[in-house]
Amino acid sequence: MKFFVDTANLEEIREANDMGVLDGVTTNPSLVKKEGNIDFHEHVFTICDIVDGDVSAEVTATEFDGMMDEARTLAQIADNVVVKIPLIKEGIKALKACSEEGIRTNCTLCFSPTQALIAAKAGANYISPFIGRIDDISSNGMELIEEICQIYDNYGFETEVLAASIRHPTHVKRAALAGADVATMPFDTMMKLLNHPLTDRGLERFLDDWEDYEASRKAEAGMAK
């Protein structure tokens, strides 16, 4: 499974990248807004320079011509830019056109298997089902991931399933078990993947035992003199 960090914060991206497990970045207009008064295209360029993997940058137009104008501009920023396009009728048209022009795409705001099916048929490189938002309305976000993976396997679609709107480590685990190709998550969630009380307890015990060992060695050396 690929790990993407879902943020536009450069410090978080650098720290995740330094861990050596970061495969890409996803951004959206809301995440960009959090970074304050920045130049969007320059910011995307900087992210692409930090990360070797795919960096998703989202269009804001909602009609075909505007989407295509933005997609072409974003694709020119760097080779690893992937253009995020919303799963609406005009977006499906744009996915198809981008595929024909060699512009790689991430179809976002997916909430049903049939949406994912039509996005794959239109040529999306990634599909982004939103797990957490499905859970928020008392439905089963993980069931959506499982169903999309099954449909794509049934028909050999090359579109990668990118589990999005991840809220906690259990989402990551279950997405991996379901066969999702990618999990994109907030930086804080990625850090939580490392946490386990038995790891903390074991490390504390090892360090305490080592301290006792060194103390006893020093004591023996003193007695020998």
Residue-wise pLDDT tens digits, 207-216: 999 999 998 8
**What backbone torsions phi and psi does residue 80 show, to the nearest 5 degrees?**
-95, 15
pLDDT of residue 223: 61
Whole-number percent of the chain with pLDDT over 70: 99
pLDDT of residue 64: 98
Tens of pLDDT, residues 45-103: 999 999 999 999 999 999 999 999 999 999 999 999 999 999 999 999 999 999 999 99
- The encoded tokens of residue 211 equal 């301290």
Tens of pLDDT, residues 135-166: 999 999 999 999 999 999 999 999 999 999 99
Tens of pLDDT, residues 10-31: 999 999 999 999 999 999 999 9
The Cα 78–Cα 93 span in angstroms is 23
Instruction: Write out the catalytic residue numbers.
Output: 84
Q: What single-letter amino acid sits at 195?
A: N
Q: For the CA atoms of the chain, what is the radius of gyration?
A: 22
Confidence of residue 4 (pLDDT cuts 50, 70, 90): very high
pLDDT of residue 224: 52
Non-local (6+) Cβ contacts of 4 within 8 A are 22, 23, 24, 25, 26, 53, 54, 56, 162, 182, 183, 184, 185
Whole-number percent of the chain with pLDDT over 90: 93
Mean pLDDT computed over every residue of the chain: 96
Measure the CA angle with vertex 155, ends 153 and 160; round to 5°.
50
Work out whether the CA dihedral 151, 153, 157, 158 comes out positive or negative.
positive
